[in-house]
Amino acid sequence: MDKFRRWIASSDMASIVVLAIVVFAVLPATTDIFRLNLIGKYLTYAFVAVGLVMLWGYGGILSLGQGVFFGLGGYCMAMFLKLEASDPVSTKIQSTPGIPDFMDWNQLTALPFWWEPFRHLPVALIGMLVVPMVLAAVIGFAMFKRRVGGVYFAIITQAVAMIITVLIIGQQGYTGGVNGITDLKTMLGWDIRTDSAKYILYFANAILLFVAIFACRAVQRTKLGTLLLAMRDKEDRVRFSGYDVANFKVFVFCLAATLCGVGGAMFTLQVGFMSPSFVGIVPSIEMVIFAAVGGRMSLVGAVYGTLLVNFGKTYFSESFPEMWLFLMAALFIGVVMAFPNGLAGLWESYVKPWLLRERQAVPVPAPEKTPAVAEDPSEAEAASTRPVARSPEHAPASKNRSDGVDPAVA
Amino acid sequence: MGLSASDLWNIVVMQGFAGLSLFSVLLLMGLGLAIIFGQMGVINMAHGEFMTVGAYTIFMLSSLTETYAPSLMPYYFLVAIAVAFVLAFAAGWLAEWALIRHLYRRPLDTLLATWGLSLGMQQIFRSTFGAKEVSPTLPEWLLGSWSPTEGLDIPINGMFVMGLTLLVTGGVFLMLYRSRWGLRVRATVSNRGMANAIGINTRNTDRMTFAIGCGIAGVAGAAFTTIGSTGPTSGSLYIVDAFLVVTFGGAASLLGTVASAFGIAQTQSITEFFLTGSMAKVLTLLAIITILMIRPQGLFALKMRR
Amino acid sequence: MSNSDYVLAIEDLTVSFDGFKAIDTLNLYVDKGELRVIIGPNGAGKTTLLDLICGKTRASAGSIKFKNAEMTKLAEHEIVRSGIGRKFQTPSIYENLTVFKNLEVSFPRGRGVFGALKFRCTDDVKERIAEVAGEIGLEEQLSMEAGLLSHGQKQWLEIGMLLMQDPELLMLDEPIAGMSVRERELTAELLDRICRNRSMIVIEHDMDFVKKIAHKVTVMHQGKILAEGPMERVQSDPKVIDVYLGH
């Protein structure tokens, strides 16, 4: 039992296993399919939160436009499903049968050419990965190569979120407008609305989420992961150690965007529609708070944070709608001011010491810290979850390095 | 479309004037933000809500005057602008004391915390004034329009707002470059440690700066009521634009803020006539982002030795 | 003597900030294996000069040739990769990482995105880290978090991070600032050792230390070179005395 307790406390693998038990066994066993489907929806947001841990927690880059990538992934999937739902037979009452209903309502008489490829599932699947990645690469290269960072990057991603939302809503003939793409029914003939389909999709989504967590964990353990942390705290030092800092930022931005895309596609499949209300500024910032509540440095924490905030949101907006925004406000403020490392931080500073409490008395099995095992996860974890004094590098004013000996002699 | 040259000219002038109203709101929002962000490095996502405070102040005072002293209706608006400033100033002072001062040097975290603040303020507005949009009863003299030539109608409220904006902008310039507070702010910006050492209370300076920025947003709210109706989320409509105004102009430059507010408002207003509103918005934002890519430090940034 | 014999040849280098010339048509040549110390009063442009060489600041005019290749147009990381290492004035290390990780990250392999993903800490990397750690006297502290080191040790760690790259030109900005007397002595020995197969530029104020390490001294004043030569000669130069005492 003691050994088990110690394992729980000191291995990051343990926390992943515990999460897996919760997601794969506890939740499906204790909730009905309606609630489970809801949880599945939350877990699609967890992709975004996991991506934000890499981007924001590790890379120090705050994007307020992750909803854009979530939406792009979701729309790729929704376009495929919509085309399948819009076969000429079931749309024969339209003036132009065979095109999505909203196109018909907007007097379109033919399918736009860029919709055509989405008749094929492989295109949709590749699209949900590649479209967000490419957009992230374009924005990333444009911004990071020009050394746009910190709050400027946050504001620009916000503007991008606004542009994409306005575009989707404005071009309703092509995108379904403010309602989004709705009435999705089948995928390759398989009805996604049945209970059994919802079960299968829930588990598929959960498996993908764990693949994402393991992939991110693998990246964290490479030199690239170390470099991200190094860049976040001392960008200039990394640059003057011979690294092209921008490329690493683009990489992690693309990684986060791709994860969002997967989440968005899984959202579409489980919820049965996609709309601009998941793309804009408000959902994008809400997704940041999922990661912040879980702990911006913890992949597993991000999933718990997402679940917790969304349970709260559902509960409160059903029971006390007035209270919800106040609670959300308190979450934003509290997590920033009092718990900058979120749930994972609480775990590190309260639960873990308690689990390890005899260690002081019997100091034998302390994990050795030799350079040879510098990849020891507990060490990386310890280094990363400590309250990190966010370096002033992000502040515009601090660009002028305080040059004690070199004040301008005017 | 069969437009004659003079028709086209009138359209440009009128759209230009419509743009001036947008320019006024953007500039008043941007000025407050520029002071707070440029001078203190704080991202205030709740800035739009401070504007809404100002707008609701006008609404409240208009209702009060209408009920209790209808004879004063022609004059209340001017007093209300001052009250809007004072209330938004007080709210800003409180927010700085409770929240912002704990977060200096953590700009990204301030961003999230002030976003939380904005959510809370929106809910307060909703609980107090209801979710429906409200409009104050404007004094008679603000309504109507002025036609210098035929086919050309320039709304009076637009001109009033314009004048108000010029007044506030001039006031900010004077305060920043001629007053003791301005001197303290500029000293604090250029070297916080040294400013502290020579006896400037930088904490008070910060609080004052933040509160003044918010107060100006309150005036922006007053201006806003003359061109649109106020709802709990009115402020958040302008926040992204206002931030772009500030970054586009170069965070440390008030002159840049004026120029970029003008450029953005005019671009949007004039393209709006030829395209749909949403496409005009998209094109304007895209143009800003592209230019920011070429000149990330903004249009009017100083070249510094670093 | 042709320029190709120098490791670093700076010619007519100028940089101005809003009309103020921080570096003004400056010429500087550094030999192979030379340890050059740059001294000068505050605001002379010493740090700016290092910034220009390593690409942190862009030159308004003039050329910087490193091993006969022009540096002024290269990006920072390209300059580093061609063999120039630079230590900042305040210790610039990754405080949250261990000393070992600090050195590992500085190892010049896997510098691209995918290279960094594939990078493994193989035996040659570990050997090199052990070697450098021995050189800078931090072999005991390898598993310690770098933020917990003393100020002097942080300075050494940053020098060690540069040594990992094995640069041909090493630039140190005030390496002994804030060090104790004993630490200064150790640093002087360290610089003496690591200078054997590379050139170095050191900015320093401490004249005793300068005397101990310098092969040649360059005195800068108001963005220009005031005097250059062995320490004794420079110290007795009336212009230099005037600049240091006359202000």
Is residue C152 located within the same domain as residue C177? Answer: no
Q: Is B70 exposed, middle or buried (0-12, 13-18, 19+ CB in 10 A)?
A: exposed
Chain C residues with beta carbon closer than 8 angstroms to that of A231 = none
With cut-offs at 50, 70 and 90, classify the pLDDT of residue B37: confident
Mean pLDDT, residues A143-163 taken together: 89
pLDDT surpassing 80 at residue A209? yes
Lowest mean pLDDT among A332-336, A352-356, B5-9, B184-188: B5-9
| Nearest chain A alpha carbon to C223 | A409
pLDDT value for B300:
66
Q: Is B156 exposed, middle or buried (0-12, 13-18, 19+ CB in 10 A)?
A: middle
pLDDT value for B252:
67
User: Which one, of B248, B231, B235, B233, lies nearest residue B288 by Cα?
Assistant: B248
- Report yes or no on A312 lying in a domain: yes
- Report yes or no on C30 lying in a domain: yes
DSSP code per residue over B85-112: HHHHHHHHHHHHHHTGGG-TT-HHHHHH
- Which tokens hold the place of B34? 């520029």
Chain A residues with beta carbon closer than 8 angstroms to that of C45 = 406
Mean pLDDT, residues B232-252 taken together: 84
* Single-letter residue type at A27: L
Q: d(Cα C116, Cα A226) in Å, to the nearest integer?
A: 9
Is residue C97 located within the same domain as residue C218? Answer: no
Q: Is A96 exposed, middle or buried (0-12, 13-18, 19+ CB in 10 A)?
A: middle
The alpha carbon of A101 is separated from its chain's Cα centroid by a whole number of angstroms, namely: 31
Helix or strand (DSSP H, E) at C24: strand C20-31
pLDDT value for B120:
93
* Single-letter residue type at C152: G
Interface of C with A in 8-37 (CB under 8 A): 17, 20, 22
Residue B104 φ then ψ, to 5° = -60, 150
Question: Which residue range(s) make up the domain with B65?
Answer: 23-116+163-294
Gap from B301 CA to chain C (nearest CA, Å): 12
pLDDT value for B3:
64
- Measured between alpha carbons, how far is residue A308 from residues A42, A266, A287, A351, B231 in Å? 9, 20, 12, 18, 30
Helices B180-190 and B202-225: crossing angle, nearest 10°? 110
Q: d(Cα A281, Cα A285) in Å, to the nearest integer?
A: 6
DSSP code per residue over B126-158: HHHH-SS-B-PPPPGGGSSEE-SSTT--EEHHH
Q: d(Cα A147, Cα C188) in Å, to the nearest integer?
A: 37
Helix or strand (DSSP H, E) at C65: strand C61-66
pLDDT value for B301:
59
Q: d(Cα B188, Cα B194) in Å, to the nearest integer?
A: 8
| Nearest chain B alpha carbon to C50 | B306
Helix or strand (DSSP H, E) at C169: strand C169-173
Interface of B with A in 120-139 (CB under 8 A): 120, 122-123, 126-127
Provide the mean pLDDT of chain A.
85
Cβ atoms within 10 Å, residue A410:
5
pLDDT surpassing 80 at residue A370? no
- Report yes or no on A368 lying in a domain: yes
Question: Which residue range(s) make up the domain with C99?
Answer: 91-166
For residue range B144-158, list pLDDT tens digits in order: 777 777 766 777 888
pLDDT value for A381:
40
- Report yes or no on A395 lying in a domain: no
Residue with tokens 């009452």: A93
pLDDT surpassing 50 at residue A354? yes
Cβ atoms within 10 Å, residue C246:
7
Q: Low-confidence residues of chain C, pLDDT below 70?
A: 1-4, 245-247
- Percent pLDDT > 70 in chain B is 95
- Report yes or no on C135 lying in a domain: yes
- Report yes or no on A9 lying in a domain: yes
Interface of C with A in 179-238 (CB under 8 A): 205, 222
Chain B residues with beta carbon closer than 8 angstroms to that of C17 = 303-305
Chain A residues with beta carbon closer than 8 angstroms to that of B304 = 399-400
pLDDT value for A360:
52
With cut-offs at 50, 70 and 90, classify the pLDDT of residue B113: very high
pLDDT surpassing 60 at residue A152? yes
Q: Please, which residues bridge with residue C170 across strands?
A: C85, C200
With cut-offs at 50, 70 and 90, classify the pLDDT of residue B137: confident
Is residue C59 located within the same domain as residue C4? Answer: yes
A290 torsion bin: left (phi>0), alpha (psi -120 to 50), beta (else): alpha
Interface of B with C in 246-305 (CB under 8 A): 302-305
Work out how many domains chain C is built from and give that number.
2
pLDDT value for A46:
97
Chains A–B, number of C-beta pairs less than 8 Å apart: 138
Q: Which residue would you say has higher pLDDT here, A5 or B68?
A: B68
Q: So what's the ipTM on this one?
A: 0.90
Among A58, A172, A325, A390, most B C-beta atoms within 10 A, so best to mutate, is A325
Mean pLDDT, residues A70-98 taken together: 92
Strands C224-229 and C216-221, bridge-based pairing: antiparallel
Within A147-194, residue ranges assigned H as helices are: 150-170, 172-175
Chains adjacent to B (≥3 CB pairs closer than 8 angstroms) = A, C
Biggest CA-to-CA distance, chain C: 58
Q: d(Cα A345, Cα A270) in Å, to the nearest integer?
A: 32
Work out how many domains chain B is built from and give that number.
1
- Percent pLDDT > 70 in chain A is 87
- Report yes or no on A401 lying in a domain: no
Q: d(Cα C35, Cα C231) in Å, to the nearest integer?
A: 12
With cut-offs at 50, 70 and 90, classify the pLDDT of residue A385: very low
Is residue C124 located within the same domain as residue C241? Answer: no
- Report yes or no on B32 lying in a domain: yes
pLDDT surpassing 90 at residue B188? no
Lowest mean pLDDT among A72-76, A82-86, B295-299: B295-299
Provide the mean pLDDT of chain B.
84
pLDDT surpassing 60 at residue A379? no
pLDDT surpassing 80 at residue B14? no
- Report yes or no on A402 lying in a domain: no
Among B47, B123, B126, B188, most A C-beta atoms within 10 A, so best to mutate, is B123
- Report yes or no on A145 lying in a domain: yes
Gap from C26 CA to chain A (nearest CA, Å): 17
Count Cβ neighbours within 10 Å for each residue of C108-141 and write b for 16 or more, e otherwise: bebbebeebeebebeeebbebbeebbebbbbeeb
pLDDT value for B23:
87
pLDDT surpassing 80 at residue A91? yes
pLDDT value for A124:
95
Judged by CB atoms closer than 8 Å, whether chains meet at A155 and B247 is answered as yes
A147 near C CB under 8 A: no
- Report yes or no on A308 lying in a domain: yes
Chains adjacent to A (≥3 CB pairs closer than 8 angstroms) = B, C
| Nearest chain B alpha carbon to A62 | B108
Q: d(Cα B20, Cα B142) in Å, to the nearest integer?
A: 16
Is residue C151 located within the same domain as residue C175? Answer: no
pLDDT value for A401:
35
- Which tokens hold the place of A392? 């002033």
CATH of the domain at C46: 3.40.50.300
Query: DSSP E strands: which ranges in A231-339?
Result: none
Residue C144 φ then ψ, to 5° = -85, 150
Judged by CB atoms closer than 8 Å, whether chains meet at B302 and C18 is answered as yes
* Single-letter residue type at A326: F
With cut-offs at 50, 70 and 90, classify the pLDDT of residue A1: low
pLDDT surpassing 60 at residue A298? yes
pLDDT value for C208:
86
User: Which one, of C115, C111, C49, lies nearest residue C77 by Cα?
Assistant: C111
Radius of gyration of chain B (CA): 20
B156 near A CB under 8 A: no
Chain A residues with beta carbon closer than 8 angstroms to that of C77 = 239-240, 242-245
Q: Which residue would you say has higher pLDDT here, B20 or A40?
A: A40
Gap from B178 CA to chain C (nearest CA, Å): 24
Question: Which residue range(s) make up the domain with A315?
Answer: 2-389
B306 near C CB under 8 A: yes
Q: Which residue would you say has higher pLDDT here, C178 or A226?
A: A226
Chain C residues with beta carbon closer than 8 angstroms to that of B303 = 17-18
Within chain B, residue ranges assigned H as helices are: 5-33, 39-40, 47-68, 73-98, 107-129, 156-178, 180-190, 192-197, 202-225, 234-249, 254-274, 277-294
pLDDT surpassing 80 at residue B28? yes
- Report yes or no on B290 lying in a domain: yes
C20 near B CB under 8 A: yes
Mean pLDDT, residues A5-9 taken together: 74
Cβ atoms within 10 Å, residue C192:
12
Task: Mark which of C141, C166, C191 sits at the end of a domain.
Answer: C166
